[in-house]
Amino acid sequence: MILHSFIPFPAEFVAIANGMIFGPVWGMVITWIGAMLGALLAFLLARQYGQPFVRRVLSKRKVQNLERWVARHGLGTLFISRFIPIISFNLINYAAGLTKISWWTFGWTTGLGILPMTILMVVMGDQIHTLPFYLWVFMILAGALLWIGVHRFLRNRSLEI
């Protein structure tokens, strides 16, 4: 999971494999800790090396506008984005590191935000051979409905801004 922050491959495969190998409890613990360590490392790298670059490339006015937007909407956007599976986990980590979001805010939004998907993927891995077909269909439909709901929420929120 830590390497996932630097090598592009679906983290869901690792979480499912952890569930298959370590079971639901240890699989979840290992996956979540690994994902958090990778996220914090990516955030650190972006903060350390990317933020100075962005400040050199963007005008002072654009940097100030970005900082105002992040101060106003950053926490909610960061937290909600963790629930949208089509937004790259790693992209969020690096993008957050380019902003002035605090370590604390990044840590708790990431930790809570990735927990539901981590649990789901690990349990799926643990139960991959025992879940009946109708539960797989239900989970896929529930995921699709969640995605549609979050997408509409974010779209409506962006219209208000």
Same domain as 55, residue 39: yes
Same domain as 99, residue 136: no
pLDDT (tens digit, 9 = 90+) per residue, 74-100?
677 777 778 777 677 787 888 888 888
| pTM: predicted TM-score of the whole model, two decimal places | 0.72
Count of structural domains within the chain: 2
Same domain as 107, residue 151: no
Same domain as 52, residue 32: yes
Same domain as 75, residue 148: no
Chain centroid to CA 94: 11
Q: Mean per-residue pLDDT for 32-60? A: 85
Q: Looking at per-residue confidence, does 81 or 117 come out higher? A: 117
Same domain as 148, residue 71: no
Same domain as 140, residue 96: no
Same domain as 100, residue 86: yes
Same domain as 85, residue 159: no
Residue 160 Cα distances to 70, 73, 81, 123, 156, angstroms: 16, 12, 18, 38, 7
pLDDT at 24: 94
pLDDT at 161: 45
Same domain as 147, residue 110: no
pLDDT at 123: 92
| Residue-range definition of the domain harbouring residue 149 | 131-161
Q: Looking at per-residue confidence, does 71 or 108 come out higher? A: 108
Work out the pLDDT band at 158, boundaries 50, 70, 90.
Answer: low
Same domain as 95, residue 139: no
pLDDT at 9: 75
